[in-house]
Amino acid sequence: MKQKHLTSLIDLSTEDILEIFEWAERLKSRVAQGIREFALQGKTVGLIFEKASMRTRVSFEVGINQLGGHAVYMDQKAIGLGSRESIKDLGRVISRYVDGIVIRTFQQENINQLAKYATIPIINGLSDDYHPCQALADMFTIKQKLGGFESASLAFVGDGNNVARSAALACAKLGVPFSLASPEGYGFKQKFKDLLDGIESKDGFSFLETSDPKEAVKNANFVYTDTWTSMGQEAEADARRKVFADFQVNADLLNAARKGALVMHCLPAHRGEEITDEIMDGPASIVYDQAENRLHVQRAVLRLLIGAWNCQLQ
Ligand code: CP
Ligand code: NVA
């Protein structure tokens, strides 16, 4: 893998992503066979979390442990990101203690700055802009369902948020048609659309945006949704519930998708809002496979970025 950090999917090549998937498959089967891994032996990975998390925190802590490493969790109270000390000083000091950082924060710029000043690999565990580890696990899940990406087509129904942006970037890199259905004013901002348009994409990728969920899912065999109110937007929750009311993933919408379409959600889900119980618990739902695959994909990322980085020094 050519990149030192995973701050977003923008700089990752198709080959980098496929290499992560190869390692994810390899590590998934090795761990299942009870084979011990030592890629992070003697290494410590810091987890800096400015927002709540269950999946990301637990899957990283468990993944680090399974690779023979040690995780140190630091919340905002302890770290005071950008208030107690500058990101520049945090990056320079923490690089002398740990071998890599997973960071969940509000501003993507915090992650970019940390990557600039730290001398160790930085992994984005979610920002307001992106959620690259989620998108990698999502595409790995699709690959495991279909065996490849040739026949995949992904529709995201809901807010044009961090998860949607990372899914779009992943689709671009892997040649998967992507459509987004959002209420007026809640889709991708022009700046991101320009970025999506400007990155090197693989043949097969296309981007359709619409305010009609049924139009978005028409050709899709994967229908993805996420919360209507992301962390940090809690004050808008009531207003958003009204605006997004017609953007629920339910049986009626799934009937408008390709036959046999599967339903995705990054979780946590708000049952009865963006997705119904019937769909979450039904045969089309692959949401728990996505959640499990966070662990497999992140172990691969840790091995490639932190394990490999260490090997180069030896
Ligand atoms: N999908 C996801 O990142 O979940 P958490 O917020 O629980 O980490
Ligand atoms: N869009 C959600 C994803 C949570 C995993 C948020 O940012 O809160």
Do residue 111 and residue 175 come from a single domain? no
Enter the pTM of the model. Answer: 0.97
Active-site residue, selected from the candidate residues 99, 171, 248, 266? 266
Task: Report the domain count for the chain.
Answer: 2
CA distance 13 to 21: 13
Per-residue pLDDT at 97: 98
Q: Tell whether the model's pLDDT for residue 313 goes beyond 50.
A: no
Evaluate the CA torsion angle 127, 104, 17, 314 in order and state its sign: positive
The two most distant CA atoms of the chain are separated, in Å, by: 57
**Who wins on pLDDT, 105 or 31?**
105
Contact criterion met (CB below 8 Å) for 14 and 202: yes
Residue with tokens 């260490």: 310
> How much is the mean pLDDT over the chain?
96
Do residue 252 and residue 119 come from a single domain? no
Q: Is 265 a catalytic residue?
A: no
Residue with tokens 């107690």: 84
Average pLDDT rounded to a whole number, residues 63-90? 93
CA distance 201 to 210: 21
Ligand nearest to the CA of 161: 2
Instruction: Quote the domain boundaries for residue 176.
Output: 132-291
Q: Tell whether the model's pLDDT for residue 40 goes beyond 60.
A: yes
Per-residue pLDDT at 310: 47
For residue 97, what is the domain's CATH number? 3.40.50.1370
Contact criterion met (CB below 8 Å) for 81 and 48: yes
Confidence of residue 31 (pLDDT cuts 50, 70, 90): confident
Mutate to test the pocket of ligand 1, among 54, 127, 292 (most ligand atoms within 8 A of CB): 54
The kind and range of the H/E element at 81 are: none
Residue 4 inside a domain? The answer is no
Do residue 286 and residue 242 come from a single domain? yes
pLDDT, tens digit (0-9, with 9 covering 90-100), for 240-256: 999 999 999 999 999 99
Do residue 156 and residue 305 come from a single domain? no
